[in-house]
């Protein structure tokens, strides 16, 4: 289908969302399968797994954030276009890399190189989501409410990307500073509506 072909309508949108939901569910499943139970039956052996568990918790939060925002964003889709399909597939591809970097981060106990790889695989989906968001913003449902949502999301995403880049730089000082930046971005998106969100909107709403 060419970019200017008639959109498939809401039925097509539902198919794209269902496929995306399935891929995200598989990503979470792969991550949880990396939580291997220790052979020794004692709390000390279990406690030694904390890097793997912490990496899983942070990555799970990220996948959950993307699912929530993906769901909200698709509420503004008017119909399926070729651009939307490929932008969505690019987002899912970048998210599919998260289980590998999560396992690597936990296995290497938040070392510098592992943290750099992890932050890079968080930054890539952020870029892909920005492309998907722009695609829907241009061709999707318009109006005052949509404009407020898109403006806030775009500005919040830009602030998150700057924080990712800051985390990559700070990782060379200490990997934990990089992880702190990643956790800050997660908290950033998970907080309920706040004065910070109103700042991104740029107006009183």
Query: 38-56 pLDDT, tens per residue?
Result: 666 767 766 777 788 888 9
pLDDT range class, residue 173, cuts 50, 70, 90: very high
Closest to 184 in 3D by CA, of 50, 65, 29: 65
pLDDT bucket at 205, cuts 50 / 70 / 90? very low
Distance CA 89, CA 19 (A): 10
Mean of the per-residue pLDDT values of the chain: 85
78 versus 87: which is more confidently predicted?
87
Q: Which of 39-53, 121-135, 141-155 is predicted most confidently?
A: 121-135
Instruction: Write the CB contacts of 205 (distance below 8 Å, at least 6 apart in sequence).
Output: 148, 198
- Tell me the whole-structure pTM to 2 decimals: 0.84
**Percentage of the chain modeled with pLDDT above 90:** 53
Q: Is the pLDDT of residue 7 over 70?
A: no
DSSP calls for 132-192: HHHHHHHHS--SHHHHHHHHHHHHHHHHHHHHHHHHHHHHTT-HHHHHHHHHHHHHHHHSP
CA gap 122, 88 in Å, rounded: 16
Cα separation, 126 vs 111, in Å, equals: 23
């Amino acid at each position: 289908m060419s970019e200017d072909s008639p959109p498939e309508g809401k039925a097509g949108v539902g198919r794209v969302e269902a496929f995306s939901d399935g891929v995200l569910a598989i990503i979470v499943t792969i991550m949880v399968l990396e939580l291997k139970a220790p052979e020794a039956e004692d709390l000390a052996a279990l406690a030694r797994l904390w890097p793997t568990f912490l990496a899983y918790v942070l990555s799970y939060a990220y996948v959950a954030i993307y699912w929530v925002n993906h769901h909200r964003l698709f509420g503004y889709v008017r119909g399926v276009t070729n651009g939307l399909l490929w932008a969505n597939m690019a987002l899912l591809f970048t998210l599919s890399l998260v289980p590998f970097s999560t396992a690597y981060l936990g296995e290497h106990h938040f070392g510098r190189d592992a943290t750099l790889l992890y932050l890079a695989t968080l930054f890539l989906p952020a870029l892909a989501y920005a492309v998907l968001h722009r695609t829907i913003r241009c061709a999707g449902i318009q109006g005052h409410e949509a404009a407020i949502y898109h403006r806030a999301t775009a500005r919040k995403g830009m602030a998150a990307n700057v924080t990712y880049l800051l985390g990559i730089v700070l990782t060379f000082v200490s990997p934990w500073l990089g992880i702190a930046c990643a956790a800050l971005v997660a908290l950033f998106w998970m907080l309920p509506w706040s004065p910070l969100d109103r700042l991104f909107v740029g107006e009183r709403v």
